[in-house]
Structure 1
Amino acid sequence: MKRFAPLLALFLFSCGGNPPENEAAGAARLGQAAPGFSLRSLDEKSHRLSDFKGKVVLLDFWATWCPPCRASTPALGRLHRKMAGKDFAILSISVDDAAAAVRPFLEKEKVEYLTLMADSDIQSVYRVRAIPTFVLIDARGFIAKIYQGFAPEMEVEWEKQINRLLPN
């Protein structure tokens, strides 16, 4: 049996298989069309990614219990105000378990951009492995950039990339 162990190991590791459970078929990839979705806002209205067709969109996957996510909120607010009147939208997608945790945070931080509640599939579809994760989608609906984590200098990077992607 010892003789066959290396061959068995090689066979098991070289065989193809299903993608990991956290990677849905058709999951988001850089340069590909952003997967569509429909999520509910805190007021229970349904919003689809396709509602923002023709706009540059920054998806923000976050949670109230995540310190880097909370640190990114003021930067996102400034970006939202700087880009007012342009073909740009921030869609903040909370992965918190309940809207009851999200509402007080948004009120305290005076968040003005659209906040949606994640469903059971959105994180796997967008390959969110850590939060915060930011997905920048161009006006044609293709994924232009994916950022994991947050650092203050990202605000300048976002603005530069968004201005580059805005339709003329």
Structure 2
Amino acid sequence: MKKIILPLLLCLLLPCAALAASSAAPASTSSSVPSLNLAGLMDLLAKNKGKVIMLNFFATWCPPCQVEVPDLVAVSKKYAGKDVLIVSLSVDDDSKVVVPFMKKMNMDYPVYMAGRDITKAFQVSSIPHNVFYAKDGQRVISEPGIADTEMIEMVFKKLLEQK
């Protein structure tokens, strides 16, 4: 009987200990950036069908990305309240370096940590890399390189004019 009680107690208590450990960990704090996998990104795109969407792949250590982000911030402010969504996807290894970068650059639009499945699916081999979706959900542009304010606004204008 004693041989059965100890294993039985362990079986009952281990799930409780695991539950307590998982609930003690903060879900999403201001010191980290939420992660996004390919399924989550596809869901985000589907939920925002009807909007022009720009996905921007970047890293905090990337000098061209550091040049591009202020343009993204400016365009995000200019198109606030319109059917436009800018989403930045960090390819950094650690989300803890992204938070100070976001604050420093005043990134006030959605930013996620990109899962490897996303960068693979979008064939991101260099950064920055930008992807644009029309209102109907079709990917219309996917290319590496810096997108400046003029280029982003030109693409947004043309895509917003489409029905």
TM-score, reference length from structure 1: 0.69
State yes or no: 1:148 paired with 2:139.
Answer: no
SS at match of 1:135: strand
State yes or no: 1:80 paired with 2:81.
Answer: no
SS at match of 1:102: helix
State yes or no: 1:66 paired with 2:57.
Answer: no
Alignment of 1:126-141 (within 5 A): 126-141=122-137
Aligned partner of 1:51 among 47, 66, 79: 47
Deviation >4 Å, runs of 4+: 43-47
* Count of residues in correspondence between the two structures: 127
Aligned partner of 2:33 among 31, 37, 42: 42
Q: CA deviation at 1:85?
A: 1.1
The C-alpha deviation readout for 1:93-116, integer Å capped at 9, x for no partner, is 000011101001001111101001
Map of 1:157 onto structure 2: 151
Note if contact 2:89-2:111 (Cα within 8 Å) is conserved in structure 1: yes
CA distance in 2, matches of 1:126, 1:43: 19
Note if contact 2:59-2:92 (Cα within 8 Å) is conserved in structure 1: yes
CA distance in 2, matches of 1:157, 1:76: 11
Note if contact 2:56-2:89 (Cα within 8 Å) is conserved in structure 1: yes
In structure 2, do the counterparts of structure 1 residues 147 and 155 end up closer, same or farther at CA, with 3 Å as the change threshold?
farther
Map of 1:97 onto structure 2: 93
Structure 2 residue runs of 5 or longer lacking an equivalent are 1-27
CA distance in 1, matches of 2:45, 2:72: 19
Q: Which has the higher helix share?
A: 2
CA distance in 1, matches of 2:72, 2:63: 15
The C-alpha deviation readout for 1:55-78, integer Å capped at 9, x for no partner, is 100000000010001110100001
The C-alpha deviation readout for 1:141-168, integer Å capped at 9, x for no partner, is 11111231116xx321110111111156
Identity %: 37
Aligned partner of 1:107 among 83, 99, 103: 103
The C-alpha deviation readout for 1:42-66, integer Å capped at 9, x for no partner, is 2569662222111100000000010
Which has the larger Rg? 2
